[in-house]
Amino acid sequence: DELWARLGLKEKKAIPMFQKYTDPDAVIEPWTDEGERWLNNPDSGREPLRARWHQLVGILRMLQRAFQGDAVLLMDGVGIGKTFQVIGFIACLAWFRSHFEVHKKFPGSFG
């Protein structure tokens, strides 16, 4: 909850602009009409798309470093976690911009 709050996302607990569900078997292509129908069907076997704790920490740290004007180097073991974090970072930056345009301040701990 603290990480979500620091990102300004305590209520939603989701990365902005990310789809809500995913295919745990990675068979469905979510960008097709068929894939979209599958993801919108509660009986399809879909699972919520959730960031793991370490991914949220990574997104938060990348945002902190970006706001400080520092470089970011993201490294860990093999997998798609880094990709998720980088796309989450970019999505948060885009959401921060739109939030700032409306509220004249950044969300969460960045306000």
Model pLDDT for residues 32-59, shown as the tens digit of each residue: 999 999 999 999 999 999 999 989 999 9
pTM of the model as a whole: 0.86
**CA atoms of 79 and 111, how far apart (whole Å):** 33
Q: Is residue 3 part of a domain?
A: yes
Q: Is residue 34 part of a domain?
A: yes
Q: Is residue 110 part of a domain?
A: no
48: three-class secondary structure by DSSP: strand
Could you tell me the residue range of the domain that residue 71 belongs to?
1-103
- Decide if 21 contacts 46 (C-beta within 8 A): yes
Total structural domains within the chain = 1
> Above pLDDT 90, what percent of the chain?
82
**CA atoms of 26 and 8, how far apart (whole Å):** 30
Q: Is residue 108 part of a domain?
A: no
How far, in whole angstroms, is CA 35 from its chain's centroid?
20
The upper half-sphere exposure of residue 34, i.e. CA atoms within 13 Å in the direction of its Cβ, equals: 3
For the record, the structure tokens of 72 come out as: 């970011």
